[in-house]
Amino acid sequence: MSKHLLVTNDFPPKVGGIQNYLYELWRRLDPNSFVVVTTAHPNADSFDAQQDFEIIRLPKKFLLPSRSLAGRIRQIADDQAASFIVWDPAMPVGMLAPKVGIQYGVVLHGAELTVPARLPLTSQILLNVLSEARFVITAGMYPKSELERLFSRRGKSVPEVFEVPPGVDPVRFEPLPQEVRDGYRRSLGVMEGEFLISSVSRLVPRKGMDTLISAVEMLKEAHPELRVAIAGAGRDEARLRRLIKRGGVSVQLLGRIAEEDLPYLLGASDGFAMLCRSRWAGLEQEGFGIVFLEASSCEVPVIAGYSGGSTEAVSHEKTGFVVYQPKSARKTAEAISMLIGSDTLRSEMGKNGRRKVLEEFSYDRLSEKLEKSLASIG
């Protein structure tokens, strides 16, 4: 395999789904086969020192397409004897790919193919970048289908596509020992016999926390033992607090939680729910929903709204439920009631979810798919 550069705006210690996706995949490759080129970060020195591979950080908060950056990337490739570049995301930094003059691939997550692919100017730029790529790595089936739709509309042939979905580290996200689980529940104020549903996301309308709160309100008389803990922050927080107060429901907004606490919150839960939905005629959709798999890896059954790639992460009636009318509080309440009502169902869904992660979505397996993709360039 020839040496390559990974050029990206999104890499740890920045926190986020894309950052985690890239790091978990690339850190499993031969550390001598690539170099990461990314942005500066206040905590970069300590993070970079712990890695086996080289990271070059440019003195920028964000990599934007410019003539000077194109020249800098070309110089780094020459210095590193790299014959190939993987660009992430396709826009905006990936717009430089055809101009650098080095064979390249592109990573697509889905967001690049919603709004940009539907606007005349940006869709043509995106098409140009993708058309000249040696291959495209899609982070799941949803971006792959959107990529095919974009090229089909223009009557063009799709470049070679390698589907490498987001995954999970099943060692980090694993079922908790009972005493650890009980201890974390107590830290949240959850009493013995209460049923805990957790949720984790940015607090924005598309994530459907309002639907979850309304469903809890519907269930508060039939299931007074139901508790909900929502981790995350965002512009919808004030509205959600008003809904909680008005409904008099047992829903706790935890704010942002530390990354190291996430496996404990998920593993201490009886179920996980995020009623993600599509908005603006499909311009906003769920690209994948990695947190569903993280919960499944902890043997926790999940409830997902139907949007974008969510059905790739959740197998309906096997690892949890997909609410195909994600704005419906009644449908959501029905799914929650089914989980509350059957220990056997929860156990089966949890075990199915853990098995699905181990067989299809562990990062060890997915990094092998990435390695095969990169090996195709010779």
**Domains defined for the chain, CATH in brackets:** 4-167+363-375 (3.40.50.2000), 178-361 (3.40.50.2000)
**What percentage of residues in the chain have a pLDDT greater than 70?**
95
Q: Is the dihedral of CA 43, 255, 322, 193 positive or negative?
A: positive
Contact, 167 vs 362, CB < 8 A? yes
Q: Give the C-alpha separation, 198 to 222, whole Å.
A: 19
Q: Give the burial string for 265-300 (b: 16+ CB within 10 Å, else e).
A: bbbbbbbbbbbbbbeeeeebbbbbbbbbbbbbbbbb
DSSP strand E in the chain: where? 4-8, 34-39, 54-58, 84-88, 104-108, 135-138, 160-163, 195-200, 226-231, 251-255, 271-274, 302-305, 320-323
Closest by alpha carbon to 172, among 370, 339, 23, 314? 23
Q: Is pLDDT above 60 for 357? A: yes
Quick count: other Cβ atoms within 10 Å of Cβ 47?
Answer: 15
pLDDT digits (tens, 9 = 90+) for 222-280: 999 999 999 999 999 999 999 999 999 999 999 999 989 999 999 999 999 999 998 76
φ/ψ of 48, rounded to 5, equals -60, -35
What pTM value is reported for the model? Answer: 0.85
Does residue 301 have a cis peptide bond before it, meaning omega lies within 30 degrees of 0?
A: no
Find tokens 């530390």 and name the residue: 258
pLDDT digits (tens, 9 = 90+) for 96-122: 999 999 999 999 987 766 665 566 667
CA 127 from centre of chain: 24
Contact, 28 vs 10, CB < 8 A? no
* Mean pLDDT of all residues in 59-87: 94
Q: Give the C-alpha separation, 6 to 370, whole Å.
A: 13
Predicted local distance difference test score (pLDDT) of residue 205: 94
Mean pLDDT of the chain: 92
- Fill in the amino acid letter for 337: S
Q: Is pLDDT above 60 for 170? A: yes
Predicted local distance difference test score (pLDDT) of residue 149: 83
Closest by alpha carbon to 309, among 364, 347, 361, 267? 361
Q: Give the C-alpha separation, 83 to 77, whole Å.
A: 7
Q: Is pLDDT above 90 for 300? A: yes
φ/ψ of 38, rounded to 5, equals -150, -165
Q: Give the C-alpha separation, 45 to 40, whole Å.
A: 10
